[in-house]
Structures are given as structure tokens and as C-alpha cells.
Amino acid sequence: MPTPHIQAERGDFADTVLLPGDPLRAQYIAETFLTDVRRVNAVRNMYGYTGRYRGRAISVMGSGMGIPSISIYAKELITDYDVKRLVRVGSCGAVRDDAQLRDIVIGMGACTDSKVNRIRFMDHDLAAIADFTLVRRTVEAAEHKGLPVAVGNLFSTDLFYSPQEELADMMKRYGIVGVEMEAAGFYGVAAEFGARALTVCTVSDHILRGESLSSEERQSSFDDMMEIALEGVLRDDNPAGV
Ligand SMILES: O=P(O)(O)O[C@H]1O[C@H](CO)[C@@H](O)[C@H]1O
Ligand SMILES: O=c1cc[nH]c(=O)[nH]1
């Protein structure tokens, strides 16, 4: 049954979905990494595809920007399309001195200035965390490829253009590995509806040094991250057999 935001039938999505914010990055991932691809959603141009990665059924769909947008798609994928495992593959800003553009970070947890998890958790603080085994298998996939990853806390902000000038310095003091706009709410949705979630990001900007990648590079140059995310899924299926 289609939802207001996804025009697909039950069964059109695999049990595992990669979620880049940008629907054109979803198209790029489908065309570059998957075989037997078919498009399963185009509502609002939020493209979704299902195909195979090394024989395993995988879907990929754009999630849009910000917690409200990813919360709609993640919730509908879990409750209406039986998706069990969701991996956000995003871009993020960095604040730490040791971070470089194109570094890959994994969000073991996510802080936020959003109120969504308090809304869902009776105004208490929900620890917004990734699925541990997905973190572990994805780190193993990165190690196998010889790619360094920083695993730690993300900060999911509602304001890309924050008026709080001191915020980036505070995040640096707390060792935040990446600043993006979805993970904390995304992990909250997964906790609420009983799915497993992970966020992997590539550093596209250094907020304090004023460095950044172009929009074209953000769309199509994150191949190492995609491979780590996909290989992490295969290892999660079968830790001994990859
Ligand atoms: O590149 P994506 O996955 O969209 O992620 C980041 O980029 C967008 C802001 O430019 C936000 O969605 C942020 O989380
Ligand atoms: O949310 C984001 C995404 C990329 N870069 C940033 O600085 N912030």
C-alpha cells in the first residue's frame, strides 16, 4: 500500500535500505554499486531504488535534509515496508583539528539541538545510539579495506546556518566527530519502531577551517563510504563468511 510519501507496494523494498540525504546520491549509488536495479519511488523526486549488491537485495532511497524529513521516510519504510536495517550514508561537517575533508565517520551516538526525542520519550533524554553490531561490522569492513574511520558522537542540528557562533568550538571540546542534520532523530525513529540503524558520513566541510567540497563532489565522490556501508551489511548478514 503506498504511503503519502512513498509510491511503492509492500515487497518493493529490500529489508535493508541505504539512506543518503540527496536523492541524486541515491541514484548514483544504485547506478554505481547495484545490479538488477529498478526504481521503486519517485514521489517528490525522492528517488528510491531496489537492486542487488554482490547478490544481496538492497534498497537505496533519498531521505531529504533534516530530522523531520528522514523521520517520515524511516518510519514509513519500517512500518509499511518491513524494513529492518537502515544505514544513513551522509555528508557532515568537522570541527576537530585532526579531521580532513573526505574522512569517514561513524555515529555511535548522536547529540542534538532538536526536541524530537523528548517529544517521543516523555520529555526525558533518550540516548540516541546506533545498533552496536552494525557499528562493529561496518568498522570491520573499513579495517578490511584499510580505510581509517572515526567512531564517536555526531551532532544533529536543526540549523545548518547556526546563529550560535560558539557552538562549533563547544562541539570540538566534546570531541564531536561530525555535524549533520539527521542521525539523532533517525536513531530515535529506529528505537521507537524497533529497527536497527546506523549513520556513516563523509566529511564534506571543515566548519572551523572554512574548507568544503563542491555540490558535485557531495553527490558522487563518496565511494569509499558507500563500499564500507555495503560491505558492513554483508558482514552483518554473515560475519564469518565475507
Ligand atoms: O549529505 P546529506 O546526507 O544530506 O547530509 C548533510 O547534508 C545536508 C546539509 O547540506 C544535511 O542533510 C546534512 O545532514
Ligand atoms: O549538516 C552539515 C552537513 C555538512 N556540513 C556541515 O557543515 N553541516
* Sign of the alpha-carbon torsion through 53, 33, 233, 87: negative
Alpha helices in 153-214 (DSSP H): 167-173, 183-193
169 is catalytic: no
How do strand 56-61 and strand 16-19 relate by DSSP bridges?
A: parallel
Of all protein residues, whose CA lies closest to atom 2 belonging to ligand 2? Answer: 180
Q: What is the pTM of this model?
A: 0.97
What is the tens place of the pLDDT at every residue in 87-111? Answer: 999 999 999 999 999 999 999 999 9
Instruction: Tell me how far CA of residue 201 lies from CA of 15, 104, 166, in angstroms.
Output: 21, 6, 23
Domains of the chain: 16-237 (3.40.50.1580)
* Residues of each annotated binding site for phosphate: 21, 25, 44, 88-91
Helices (H) and strands (E) in the chain, counts: 8, 10
The closest residue, in CA terms, to atom 6 on ligand 1 is 91
H or E element that contains 134: helix 132-145
Confidence at residue 216, expressed as pLDDT on a 0 to 100 scale? 81
pLDDT at 17 over 90: yes
Q: Strand pairing partners for 178?
A: 154
Distance between Cα 242 and ligand 1 center (Å)? 31
